[in-house]
A and B are shown apart, each in its own frame.
Chain A
Amino acid sequence: MFAYIVRRLLYAIPILIGVNLLTFYLFFVVNSPDDMARMHLGMKRVTPEAIEKWKASHGYDKPLLLNSEADALDKVTDTIFFEKSLKLFVFDFGYSDDGRDISFDIGQRMMPSLAIAIPSLIIGLMVNITFALLMAFFRGTYIDVSGVILCVVLMSISAMFYIIGGQFLLAKSFRLMPISGFDSGLDALKFIVLPVVIGVVSGIGSGARWYRTFFLEEAGKDYVRTARAKGLSESLVLFRHILRNALIPIVTGVVVLLPLLFMGSLLLESFFAIPGLGSYTIDAINNQDFAIVRVMVFLGSVLYIIGLILVDITYTIVDPRVRLT
């Protein structure tokens, strides 16, 4: 198992290099450092000298990939690619284009993201499983049919509508919670309620429907038939056999998401002014702060790969039949 994890980690390295090369290409070939400088120097009275100075002070004045003027090793190391992209591998994120320490910002913004993402995930999971179980229990009846139709209806509504509608009704018209914002500690609770509610509601449709298929799939298997034939009550079969076995795909589906929770939710965070990593990313895109975008791409890839490895490990834990080799 240990050897397996090590191998997977080693396998991650070429992937991260690929990600890095791709983002490097997209960001440096697309927007020249001149563009970035102009963006960050502001509107009025920007001189070419100022642009040169900005580039120099942010390390963007070096050659992109190969420094032909430098000697020996410096040929490779004294380049933008080395300075800006490869350093990510040692988690040296450097500074954003407007001079902030990115690691520090990420550290600060992680908590608000998690404060939204974790409750949404847990409550959403509970609600979805309950809902799916209900439908599976009453499969074939009007409850199941109307439940599925309700799910499809909920799924067909864009997340934007949930957010706009929720904000408009609950926060503006009913004044039940602040419209947007965030606070530290327990004071954060009142800000979290609405995004979490919206996050959960918008996920019910696809979540519950998806879990229902897991349950039904299990329900159709031979061992379930055998159990039923033995005379076990329907509810016992449902909870003891079906739920337990259907939890395997559910859990692995969740585990793959776990690391990505850190990335936060782009929509919820920017609509509710929550200072998490999701809104950090959106801001970076809007401000064309490529230093941050690069870091977020890298971070996202790392977390994704961790998620994949975690799934493999969970498989061995929840399903003893799977052996990692």
Chain B
Amino acid sequence: MSILHARLIAASLISPAGKAALLIALASVWLLACDGQPWNRPYPDASAHENVFYSLFQERPKHLDPAQSYSSNEATFTGQIYEPPLQYHYLKRPYELMPLTATEVPVASYLDADGKVLPDDASAGDIVWSIYDIHIKPGIMYQPHPAFARDKLGALRYHHLGDDALSAVHVLGDFKHTGTRELTADDYVYQIKRLAHPQLHSPIFGLMSEYIVGLEAYADTLKGAWGKAADGKEQGVYLDLAKFPLEGAEVTDRYAYRIKVRGKYPQLLYWLAMPFFAPVPQEADQFYSQPGMKQRNITLDWYPVGTGPYMLTINNPNRQMVMERNPGFHGDSYPAEGAAGDREAGLLDDAGKPLPFIDKVIFSLEKETIPYWNKFLQGYYDISGISSDSFDQAINIGSGGEVTLTEGMLEQGIELNTAVSTSIFYTGFNMQDPVVGGDSGAARKLRQAISIAIDFEEYISIFLNGRGIPAQGVIPPGIFGYEAGEDGINDYVYKASPRGPVRRPIEEARKLLAEAGYPEGRDINTGKPLVLHFDTAQTGPDAKAQLDWLMKQFDKLNIQLVIRGTDYNRFQEKMLKGTAQIFQWGWNADYPDPENFLFLLYGPNSKLGHNGENAANYQNSEFDRLFEQMKSMENSPLRQSIINEMMEIARHDAPWVFGFFPTQFSLHHSWVKNSKPNLMANNTLKYQRLEPALRAQLQNEWNRPVRWPLYTMAIIVIVIVLPAFVGFRRQQRLSAYQDKR
């Protein structure tokens, strides 16, 4: 009896393990079933050969509404969906504006106070108004969208939805019918009015209200009207902006509109190439403002409507976002001319061919950089930036400083693009601070000494693996006003040499420090050690290394640096209140004009009191005067000389340690064609082309699974379980024997 029982029980002992084995067996069946495909493909197997571009997003784009969207991760989407009147040429350098939906790049006409037309070369002081007339191409259609859907009678189908009609709706795709409509000038004007909408708080409203005539008062008008229309409600309110005219933006005919600006503001053209000035159809705005839409996340922020080559079809911030080709796209063709060397690089092979090339783009959520990089190497992402940590694997820097890929990368056929980005990272001094700030000679010398001591060459080499160039001033290369060679050297920190600028020796910094009243880092009067404070919001794994490095730099001067770490919000608050002492900050250019960099040091733009972007709160009346003169000038030798003068002032006062201009390295696989970095244009996706067959083949080659560990594991499990099992049997037999006895 006991033997029988024991057997049964033995079976039940095995059964949990048995079930696990069954599961493993099932899993291996699945693994074998998809043989031929790599096991580690992070997408459905069926999609291997499709003309689909695989990319990623690290964070959900917060705004896709063109009035609000400003971040670069949002531009990845908005750039492909919305079409502002202008765009940057994809290939030409320096950056050049060209029409997108406009028929040509508009030319401003200038008026004086009486409304009389002035000649084009009129001085900026005489110009009171500038007029831009923009003509758009007829026949451009919007992407299919339910907001345009009409029923048989021609009435808009989804504009009077009740709760019943919405009950089954969770995503935009749940609306069965779609429609389209031709793009008109009304839509552009409508969007300019939206910049002043009280519910949208557009980030450029403050800036634009200084220029676009009547925009500031318009915001007040709308606020009043909104209060009346909303009547205490927070949702489901629609304000028809067409009913409220705006002086600065008017429709002149179906395909033309006019923007009126105060004074001379040539930078407006750059703004016209940004999604802020893209068209928004009034139907869409009305459609999205219906009650119940916002609860379902059906808003313009989630489902943009545009005329561009792509449309956003899936927006699931938890997992993926998908853009698909807009079936009604008006058509565009690949540029026939480019910059020097583009033809040789094969960038003009597709000249004249219809755009876009790619059918669909899948952005997967990928927060961690390690999987991102590894999946790129496995061929599952088509493009990648290089994080500093995977750098050694990817890049060799040649003896002349030229950058090439390592053999491993070259073997995989990976290609590299580099570009000095139009950004600057700097270490700022709060000029309101009693120790490091102010206009006194001592404080200036202290700042200059620190500027020499912080060795950004070393920083770039350690933390960026050479992907950046030390800044000699505010303006990065590639932007008008940048001066290469000896003329552009920051004399206070560098010395010219035949091999380029060389950082001044630390002894000079020590001397400056002594002159500033802190010999050996001690106050000359009290003997107290000089203690400075560095404010930062940096956390994360890399922060400690960077902060250690920074302390090391100050230590060279015997200055004791105390790190005051805090969270991002506190840091922002400190900056706003001007209570920080030393900090690091960066700026990413909106458009390729020196004004967009020099305004970072313009007094009236300071953070303290004006909430501007001048984070150092730097104030120099001569600098400010020159800035006002420079900002509305066309690029010319005169403008250059003014900029040089301004640079000299800034270098002398040293409100910043001019850190570095990061270089962008981006990699793409051999099956991605027509890749050229363009730091200004956002709508670059339509130019890219893929060779999916090559991709599928290479992915298979690169991802053959290594199977021996599986077998080894199986053997180990057997080795562990078998003696136990044998022992178990033996004991059973023993006890059975005892039973019998």
Interface residues of A (CB under 8 A from B): 31, 34-36, 38-50, 53-54, 57, 98-101, 104-105, 108-109, 123, 126-127, 129-130, 133-134, 137-138, 141, 143, 167, 169-183, 187, 189-191, 193, 231-236, 239-240, 270-271, 273, 275, 279-280, 288
A182 to B295, CA, bound (A): 26
B60: chain A residues within 8 A (beta carbon): 98
Interface set, chain B 703-731, CB cutoff 8 A to A: 703-706, 709-710, 723-724, 727-728, 731
Are A233 and B23 touching (Cβ within 8 A)? no
Are A127 and B42 touching (Cβ within 8 A)? no
B199 interface residue (CB < 8 Å to A): yes
B170: chain A residues within 8 A (beta carbon): 104
Are A49 and B201 touching (Cβ within 8 A)? yes
A133 to B721, CA, bound (A): 12
Are B16 and A134 touching (Cβ within 8 A)? no
A186 to B38, CA, bound (A): 17
Are A57 and B234 touching (Cβ within 8 A)? yes
A49 to B364, CA, bound (A): 35
Are A47 and B206 touching (Cβ within 8 A)? yes
B62 interface residue (CB < 8 Å to A): yes
A233: chain B residues within 8 A (beta carbon): 2, 5-6, 732, 735-736, 738-739
B318: chain A residues within 8 A (beta carbon): 105, 108-109, 275, 280
B204 interface residue (CB < 8 Å to A): yes
A50 to B2, CA, bound (A): 81
Q: How many A-B residue pairs have CB under 8 A?
A: 186
B365 interface residue (CB < 8 Å to A): yes
Are A40 and B19 touching (Cβ within 8 A)? no
Are B739 and A231 touching (Cβ within 8 A)? yes
B573 interface residue (CB < 8 Å to A): yes
B724: chain A residues within 8 A (beta carbon): 134, 138, 143
* Given the contacts A190-B39, A236-B6, A275-B365, A174 and B709 also touching, CB distance less than 8 Å: yes
Interface set, chain B 419-474, CB cutoff 8 A to A: none
A190: chain B residues within 8 A (beta carbon): 30, 39-40
Question: Would you give 28 A-B contacts (Cβ < 8 Å), ordered by A?
Answer: A35-B569, A35-B570, A36-B569, A38-B569, A38-B572, A41-B201, A43-B71, A45-B70, A53-B199, A57-B234, A99-B299, A108-B316, A123-B20, A126-B19, A127-B16, A138-B724, A138-B727, A174-B705, A174-B706, A175-B40, A175-B706, A179-B371, A180-B375, A181-B366, A183-B43, A191-B42, A231-B738, A273-B366
A105: chain B residues within 8 A (beta carbon): 318
A76 to B281, CA, bound (A): 42
* Given the contacts A42-B70, A273-B367, A104 and B9 also touching, CB distance less than 8 Å: no
B299: chain A residues within 8 A (beta carbon): 99
Are B378 and A175 touching (Cβ within 8 A)? yes
* Given the contacts A104-B170, A126-B16, A271 and B368 also touching, CB distance less than 8 Å: yes
A267 to B296, CA, bound (A): 30
Smallest CB-CB A-B distances: 7 pairs: A126-B16, A233-B735, A275-B318, A35-B569, A178-B42, A174-B706, A180-B371
A148 to chain B, nearest CB (A): 14
What 11 additional pairs, Cβ within 8 angstroms, besides A233-B5, A235-B6, A236-B5? A35-B573, A41-B203, A53-B199, A129-B16, A167-B370, A175-B40, A175-B378, A176-B39, A189-B30, A233-B736, A235-B9
A105 to B728, CA, bound (A): 51
A238 to chain B, nearest CB (A): 8
Are B367 and A270 touching (Cβ within 8 A)? yes
Choose from B30, B704, B736 the contact partner of A175 (Cβ within 8 Å): B704
Majority SS at the chain A contact face: helix
A289 to chain B, nearest CB (A): 11
B340 interface residue (CB < 8 Å to A): no
B504 to chain A, nearest CB (A): 34
Are A99 and B727 touching (Cβ within 8 A)? no
A175 to B38, CA, bound (A): 8
B703: chain A residues within 8 A (beta carbon): 175
Choose from B9, B295, B319 the contact partner of A101 (Cβ within 8 Å): B295
B635 interface residue (CB < 8 Å to A): no
Interface set, chain B 571-628, CB cutoff 8 A to A: 572-573, 611, 613
Are B40 and A273 touching (Cβ within 8 A)? no
B375: chain A residues within 8 A (beta carbon): 178-180
A129: chain B residues within 8 A (beta carbon): 16
Interface set, chain B 464-499, CB cutoff 8 A to A: none
